[in-house]
Chain A
Amino acid sequence: MTFADSSDAVVFPYGAATETTPEDAADNEYDVVIVGGGMGGSIIADQLSLDGQRVLILEAGPGKDLELAGYESYLSRFFGAITKDNQSPYAFNPNARMPRSTDVMPVKPDTPEDDYYLVQTGPYSTDSTYTRVLGGTTMHWEAKALRMLPEDFSLSTLYGRGLNWPVSYDDLEPYYRQSERELGVSAEVEDQAYLGMHFPDGYVFPMHRMPLSYLDQVVAKGVDGMEVDLYGERYGLRVRSFPQARNGVPNAAYDGGNGYSPVGAVSTSQVREGERCQGNTNCVPLCPVQAKYHAGKTLAKALSRGNVDIVTQAVASEVHIDPATGRVTGITYKKYADSRSPRHTTHTADGTLYVLSANAIENARLMLASDLPSTSGLMGRNLMDHAYLLSWALLPEVAGTMRGTICTGGISDLRGGRFRRHQAGFAADIHNDGWGWATGSPYSDLLAIVDRQGKFGKDLRTTLADQISRQLLLAFMIEVLPEPGNRVTVSRDYKDALGNMKPVVSYQIPDYTKEGVVYARQFARDVFDRLGAEDCTVYRPDDPGRISYKGEDYAIRGGNHLAGTHIMGTAKSTSVVDHTQRSWDHENLYLVGGGSMPSVATSNISLTLAALAFRSARYIIKQLRAEKAPVYLSAR
């Protein structure tokens, strides 16, 4: 008789997310305690478990196994939600609240406390979010998996802007490949070898690229061959496919000809779904078939090995330090039984090493709530996120909008170049889901056609289809440089249901980015002109993301690419963590994730975040082995 392989990549061990009680955890000795069951935490837990280390994960979100019925209940809630924002699949949880794009407002003393989680003191209010359920923000991400450019690691040296990284593209390159395997990236090297990005000879991505949508091809007719002049240099443009952590057709040449097996839906039973993208165009927040990577795919492997435990509904509230050595001695967390009640019990998790992987804002929030601002004073500072400028237009002909995955192609040629001495670089997405992000289409179109044009029946259907399938949305993901004044703090005035201090964010869009915004807007107009498209862009005066610059108004959306609150660097005085993401101040503490990034550059942060996690896992294992090695006392 043969048995199913117990390490079946997608079988989430039954009961793993609910069985470990705080009391069980207290009885066990853990090598590493990880705060956060998202992508970074899951990758590190998986790598440590492969090495035989004992790991405890504390997850703030709901304590359900990653079974299919649970995932589908998220989907149903999303389908039934009137506002389909990134967090709409998730029930409101006052014990581990998350920012919502629908709650964006500058918070003033009289703002009702229940209206917000992120306390925004301005001047700019972001609609950026992160998701606090098992799987973290991979439970709403779009799954673009871009590498950073080699030049992004030394912006200061090359362009006199921003900060250098303590690691280079070449240092990270093998970890990028490891991440592309783990996340299951679909792309072609021929598309991705631009602006200095290089790959070892013979490398192919695990899966072939997602085909460019028909809309991409329509846009390419206007863009391919276009040239722009920026500060005296010419840049040639083309529509290029984006690498995506989404299951495509496996590349038979991967791994020296061994190929790649796409990882499908995670569940407590064998379901065999999601091993290919089906083109539902419903990638965000959730892929209906889990063809898009989420951290549960990594977590399922880690939890199957038997040396990783997870306590869910466990919100970390304080990091304790031995004042003599600076070492972390434990992490206090609040375990709640039911998200509808603030009742909880308080426990402390002990390990040899500790990893905070709760995202840039929550990592900083937890450290600052523990009164640990770091020697550099930079904890929480240099908060970054991509500034998104949306521009939308109506194409002269039907272009098949709403087909394909949410975004298959875009213009990446202005991600890097010498112009970055003067203005921010950007990548521009062509959105296959039309104007949805900008205007709430297709729902807003429907209302407008019914209410304002009085159409119904077949006429309504035809008008709607014609209008939507001609929509073009260009989303410019514009670089933001680190500025110490853009920061996360905490205040005793703002607490959540469990009594944990909420994050307080003060943020402004730097002028360097605004220069990029002005350019991007003009660039969009040029592209629309070349396509004969009618520019329909309107930035509403009451938009919370509104900015004014050089006499023009814009609305800036958040990118959910939160970075920079505990930047890595080469010295304790100028950074919070070292090149391994280890805290300079606390030798047994690693702060991992976007927070460690000294620049957010022009790539979605997740692939880099994953690469950094794989790299840190190596150093964590090394440190553990050294700390666990027997000590010989010499009598000399």
Chain B
Amino acid sequence: MTLPKTTQATGDARAAGTTVQTAPEPLITTLAQLHDYLYRGLRIEHATLPPYLTALYSLERERNSDAWHIIRVVAVEEMLHLTLVANVLNAVRGRPDLTKPGFVPRYPTALPDGEDDFLVHLRPFGEEAVDMFLEIERPRQAPAARHRVVEQQALPAEVGSSFGPESGVAGEALAAVPGQPGLKFYSIGEFYEEVISGINYLEDRARDRGKSIFTGDPARQVTQEYFYSGGGQIIPVTNRDTAVRALTLIAEQGEGLGGGIYDAEDELAHYYRFQQLKLGRYYQSGDEPGSPSGPRVSVDFRAAHPVKRDPRLRDYPKDSELRAAAVDFNEKYASFLTMLTEAYNGKPGVLLEAVWEMFRIRDTMSRLMRNPIPGQPGKNAGPTFELYPATRAETT
């Protein structure tokens, strides 16, 4: 996920004809709205995990070690982002809930790409997957703060709801503007800019009354003992500064700091990590964007299990072992999200136990991906991430 570095007006975006004049007043003016935005932030941060994990575990690791590690680091850092958003939500007395029906999107799902959207699919590792990852991590900045919100383009019918089109549950794009149907954020970065504006607005008002919005119980913060990501440290959030720092870290890890390839902690930004797979070399200290000069990256775009794109439970024959394994995966994934929710609600130690659950997720995923789907030549199974009763009902 990326955030713009600074907000600067460049040219008149109204020429595009689709931008909407936003009011000078911030969109977030109540604590309840801030909670809602941060919940949406959790959803957005999480939404990249299924595609990254699908590509990661589809790899034939021994033939694609470099790609394996590049995707793995990014996936781990997305977990960091998820945890950082949870920390911010806890700091303002919110209650992170990753078990709410609809938390996990149905794939393909849409992420904003300026005026347009692009579709995020579950797909195996390959050139298309890497292009999609670059799309996810590419920085996009609205031409001006007032263009932060744009009209939602029509999405394909199957996109939007976590429950599938047949469920009758209306969907919403991941970056939709709460309470303003038909509008969405220009980019994920702009979404977080709006959250920061909201935090500033609310905290300023609270301070005027001698108060603060940061009254969450510090014991609910996930700290370094419980979360490590290698790149980028977890930030316990207790006030405005730490909240802004946490949200900014999310930005820098995507796109790099100040146009460079590294973030403030000398961590190679996600966009450039993925770009190494395209350019065939590792970046090293001192390199300019686009010109990595380090060791060769060896990548075999075909050395991956041919997992079917956006698989569904209904793709697997009823009563088959494959179907059972896919259901088993979804249950394990749901139980993983339950553990994360516990961890984010005052029991950070549960994160250490969740490590085993992650191994189970990996193993169950790998089992699915090694098996062809009956009647679909050349296509292997994959995890469906269909977690909610509505989707399950649709398949029985």
The reply on B9 being an interface residue by CB < 8 A is: no
Complex contact B65–A68 (CB within 8 A):
yes
Q: Does B33 contact A (CB under 8 A)?
A: no
B284 at the interface (CB under 8 A from A): yes
- Judged by DSSP, the binding face of A is loop
Chain B residues closer than 8 Å to A121, beta-carbon distance: none
A270 is contacted by which of B268, B297, B298, B356 (Cβ under 8 Å)?
B268
Q: Tell me if A538 is interfacial: C-beta within 8 Å of chain B.
A: no
Q: Is the CB of B260 within 8 A of A72?
A: no
Chain B residues contacting A635 (CB-CB under 8 Å) are none
Size of chain B's interface in residues, with CB distance under 8 A? 36
Among A30-38, A271-279, A424-432, which stretch is in contact with chain B? A271-279
Chain A contributes a number of interface residues (CB within 8 A of B) equal to 31
Interface string of B323-363 (1 = CB under 8 A from A): 00000000000000000000000000000100110010000
Pairwise interchain contact B355-A76, C-beta atoms closer than 8 A: no
Query: B-facing mask of A115-155, CB < 8 A → 1, else 0?
Result: 00000000000000000000000000000000000000000
Are A2 and B260 interface neighbours, CB within 8 A?
yes
Q: B186 on the interface (CB 8 Å rule)?
A: no
Closest CB in chain A relative to B292 CB, distance in Å: 10
- Answer whether A3 and B294 are a contact pair too, CB < 8 Å, given A68-B69, A275-B228: no
Which B residues are CB-close (under 8 A) to A65? 295
The reply to whether B285 and A272 form a contact with Cβ atoms under 8 Å apart is: no
Contacts of A270 in B (CB 8 A): 73, 231, 267-268
Tell which of B228, B260, B282 touches A276, judged by Cβ atoms closer than 8 Å.
B228
Collect the chain B residues with CB atoms within 8 Å of residue A276's CB.
228
List A contacts of B229 (CB < 8 A). 272
Q: Is B159 an interface residue (CB 8 A)?
A: no
Contact of B69 among A1, A6, A8, A273 (CB under 8 A): A273
User: Which of B65, B76, B284, B297 meets A4, CB within 8 Å?
Assistant: B284
Query: Are A1 and B259 in contact, with the CB atoms below 8 A?
Result: yes
Chain A residues near B224: list those with CB within 8 A: 250, 252, 259
B257-A2 in contact (CB<8A): yes
Bound together, the chains give a CA A14 to CA B225 distance in angstroms of: 32
Question: How many whole Å from A576's CB to the nearest CB in chain B?
Answer: 43
Closest to A269 in B: B282
Chain A residues whose C-beta falls within 8 Å of the C-beta of B226 in the assembled complex: 249
**Chain A residues in 8 Å Cβ range of B285:** 3-6, 8
* A450 close to B (CB within 8 Å): no
Whose C-beta in chain B lies nearest to the C-beta of A277? Answer: B355
Are A67 and B295 interface neighbours, CB within 8 A? yes
In the bound complex, CA of A610 to CA of B62 (Å): 34
Interface string of B260-283 (1 = CB under 8 A from A): 101010111000000000000011
Interface residue ranges of B283-325 to A (CB < 8 Å):
283-286, 294-295, 297-298
- Check A69 against B355 for contact (C-beta < 8 Å): no
> Interface centre among A4, A67, A278, A279, by most B CB within 10 Å?
A4
Q: Smallest Cβ distance from A143 to chain B, in angstroms? A: 19
Contact of B230 among A2, A3, A67, A264 (CB under 8 A): A264
Tell me the minimal C-beta distance from A229 to chain B in angstroms: 41
Within 8 A of A (CB), among B237-268: 257-260, 262, 264, 266-268
Is B355 touching A278 in the complex (CB atoms < 8 A)? Answer: yes
In contact, B298 and A69 (Cβ under 8 angstroms): yes
Point out the residue from B230, B295, B352 that lies within 8 Å of A269, measured CB to CB: B295
A268 adjacent to chain B (CB < 8 Å): yes
Check: B66 CB closer than 8 A to any chain A CB: yes
B151 to A: closest C-beta gap in Å: 36
B-side contacts of A268, CB under 8 Å: 282, 294-295
B72 within 8 A of A: yes
List of A residues within 8 angstroms of B264 by Cβ: 2
- In the assembled complex, which residues on chain B have CB atoms less than 8 Å from the CB atom of A3? 260, 262, 266, 285-286
A588 to chain B, nearest CB (A): 37
Closest to B62 in A: A76
Tell me the complex Cα distance, A188–B76, Å. 29
Q: Within the complex, what minimum Cβ distance (angstroms) separates A211 from chain B?
A: 9
Q: Shortest distance in angstroms between A501's beta carbon and chain B's nearest beta carbon? A: 38
| Interchain CB contact under 8 A, A272 and B225 | no
* Nearest CB in chain B to that of A69: its residue: B65
Q: Which listed residue, B231, B260, B298, touches A272 by the CB 8 Å rule?
A: B231
Q: Could you list 27 examples of A-B contacts with CB < 8 Å?
A: A2-B258, A2-B260, A2-B262, A2-B264, A3-B266, A3-B285, A8-B285, A14-B295, A68-B66, A68-B69, A72-B62, A76-B62, A249-B352, A252-B224, A252-B225, A259-B224, A262-B228, A268-B282, A268-B294, A270-B231, A271-B69, A271-B73, A272-B229, A272-B230, A273-B230, A275-B228, A278-B359
Which residues of A come within 8 Å of B, CB atoms?
Answer: 1-6, 8, 14, 65, 67-69, 72, 76, 208, 249-250, 252, 259, 262, 264, 268-273, 275-276, 278-279
The 5 closest A-B pairs by CB, nearest first: A272-B230, A1-B260, A269-B282, A4-B285, A4-B266
Known interface pairs A3-B262, A208-B225, A273-B69; 12 further A-B residue pairs with C-beta atoms within 8 A, sorted by A's residue number: A1-B260, A4-B268, A14-B284, A14-B294, A68-B65, A249-B352, A259-B224, A268-B295, A270-B73, A270-B231, A271-B73, A272-B230
